[in-house]
Structure 1
Amino acid sequence: MKVLWLVAVMQLLLNVAGVNLEQLQAENKKMLPPEQQDQVLNLGMKVLPRDCHEMLLTSSGRARDGVYLIQPGNAPIVAYCAMREGGWTVVQHITVNSSVSFDCTWAEYKHGFGDVAGDHWLGNEYLHQLTRGPGRYKLGVKLVDKDAVTKAGEYDPVLIEDEASGYRLRLGLFEGTAVDALTLDTENYLHDNQRFTTKDRDNDNYFQNCAKLEFQGVPGGGWWYDACAGANLNRRNVIYWQKDCNKERLCKYAWMMVKPSDTFKLVQGADCTKDEL
């Protein structure tokens, strides 16, 4: 009886604080340390946004950077939202020599690992749920080198196929200040249209498993390998992005993010006097 009374009191206190107990049961709750779970910025929301961009629109542009509950599929998840940059949902963040190991299994890459407020992989299943729509999504990449020079780029559209397809990566046109390291075959590697490979599931085009190959004792981590890589943002000792980030040109941080595409873009017609849709 005493236990039931304590539960009732706790329920009342949480409701008064505006916390919805059901929405605290995020499918990837393990990616947020218990002491930080009360810092989720939209705990009181009754209807969750599909992604961070929808959250930004719902707040009339007032939402700030931080961890939010979103629901791209059947269950809520926690994700970090880069609101100041336009409502991007962060799906990957890595710091060179991170304490978080990216040498993980298929199941770990499927459901995510790390800390959503720090170094992490959100999860291939959630990447699939986010990018399958409705509507088109784009992929953003941001790189910061040791001199604090930032380069960025966007692939529009992006689609991560389902698990049965090996979470295959599908990319559209690239635009940005960074090198296009995923769709241009400048180093005889093409990551677009590749299936995902992990140390326990080899889907690449090399005679060995690319995720197991080591540099300075650190395995490559899961990625959309070809044979093997012109880019790999999941190798924590060397962030690799062709000529922008490599063994000689060290990068300190990398992010991958997704958000809905623009519904249309203005294209300047060569033989026209005005912009066309």
Structure 2
Amino acid sequence: MSLKIWILLLFEFVIYLRSSAQFCMRRSVNGRWISMGDCGGPEIMSETMKQLQLRAEDEKKKWPADKQWTVFQRIMNGDVDFYRGWDDYVKGFGNSERDFWLGLEKLHEMTKEGNMELEINMITRDAGTHWVAKYSNFQIGPGMDNYRLNISGYSGNATMDGLASNRQFTTKDADNDSSSPVNCASEWEGAWWYSNCGSSNLNGNFNKSDNKGIWWWDYSPSKIYTLRYTEMKFRRRL
């Protein structure tokens, strides 16, 4: 049988597979699983993500409504662009079931009375390590003060305390950080409560693995750890 006939038969077989309900192919692009064909199921999630989801469901059953967590930030697959301006961060954007930001004004209204705690869940890009950073005090100031972060009481297994208290929020079009004349949001392609452009960038670019990506700093050794998953949530202190 000639080579041309073999190629023709192979081409027809591929067409048949693509038209079949059984055809399914998944490939990883920048850490995200893309489905081609009829895969008949949800996106593949890492085992750690599944455990986080189960834990969240268990806690909803365990605590009354006023003691449950409110998630206000999540990046899990890069569906949403987080390199945005001030107005978007004030109002919020994205899909609350996937990648999203709740909104600075809502954060202020929900935390202004104090007595809140914060938890950040992160998964590193290289080793898939699950880190948790907890803060026993968490509050966001009003818009007139550029939604200043007030935070204290760090604990957890993350490399270090990656958030600096008493910092105003900065976006690419609203430079409120302390690193004049540099706008840290433009420098790191994100938006955050920056302290001299350092220690963390959890609203960075999902598809980058350098200092313009999503990262958490470690002073010893001096390096950044890029992340492929981050979720921030708060609740009334128990």
TM bucket, shorter chain? 0.5 to 0.7
Query: What TM-score results when the alignment is normalised by the length of structure 1?
Result: 0.56
* Residues in 1 aligned to 2:144 and 2:159: alpha-carbon distance in whole angstroms: 31
Count of aligned positions: 169
Which residue pairs with 1:140 in the alignment?
Answer: 119
Which residue pairs with 1:253 in the alignment?
Answer: 229
**Residue 192 of structure 2 aligns to which amino acid in structure 1?**
W
**Residue 84 of structure 2 aligns to which amino acid in structure 1?**
C
* Residues in 2 aligned to 1:231 and 1:118: alpha-carbon distance in whole angstroms: 21
Correspondence for 1:232 among 183, 201, 204: 201
Q: Deviations over 1:243-276 (max 9, x none)?
A: 39x98644210111001112xxxxxxxxxxxxxx
Structure 1: which 5+ runs fail to align?
A: 1-64, 67-80, 184-190, 263-277
* Residues in 1 aligned to 2:96 and 2:177: alpha-carbon distance in whole angstroms: 28
* Residues in 1 aligned to 2:169 and 2:141: alpha-carbon distance in whole angstroms: 10
**Which structure dedicates a bigger proportion of its chain to helix?**
2
% identical equivalent positions: 33
**Higher RCO by CA contacts (8 Å cutoff, separation 6 or greater):** 2
* Residues in 1 aligned to 2:202 and 2:83: alpha-carbon distance in whole angstroms: 12
**Deviation at residue 153 of structure 1 after TM alignment:** 1.8
Which residue pairs with 2:72 in the alignment?
Answer: 91
TM-aligned CA distance change 1:113 to 1:88, over 3 Å = same
The 5 A counterparts of 1:28-43 are none
* Residues in 1 aligned to 2:161 and 2:224: alpha-carbon distance in whole angstroms: 17
The answer to whether the 8 A contact 1:82-1:89 is kept is no
* Residues in 2 aligned to 1:227 and 1:143: alpha-carbon distance in whole angstroms: 22
| 2:94 equivalent to 1:125 | no
**Which structure dedicates a bigger proportion of its chain to strand?**
2
Structure 2: which 5+ runs fail to align?
A: 1-52, 61-67
Correspondence for 1:210 among 162, 181, 184: 184
Secondary structure of the residue aligned to 2:218 is coil
* Residues in 2 aligned to 1:118 and 1:162: alpha-carbon distance in whole angstroms: 27
The 5 A counterparts of 1:44-193 are 82-85=56-59, 87-95=68-76, 98-133=78-113, 136-146=115-125, 147-183=127-163, 191-193=164-166
* Residues in 2 aligned to 1:175 and 1:85: alpha-carbon distance in whole angstroms: 20
Secondary structure of the residue aligned to 1:211 is helix
**Deviation at residue 178 of structure 1 after TM alignment:** 1.2
**Deviation at residue 151 of structure 1 after TM alignment:** 1.1
**Residue 240 of structure 1 aligns to which amino acid in structure 2?**
W
The answer to whether the 8 A contact 1:198-1:223 is kept is yes
Larger radius of gyration: 2
**Residue 92 of structure 2 aligns to which amino acid in structure 1?**
G
Q: Deviations over 1:77-129 (max 9, x none)?
A: xxxx9443453111000136x13111111110001011111011110111111
The answer to whether the 8 A contact 1:92-1:119 is kept is yes
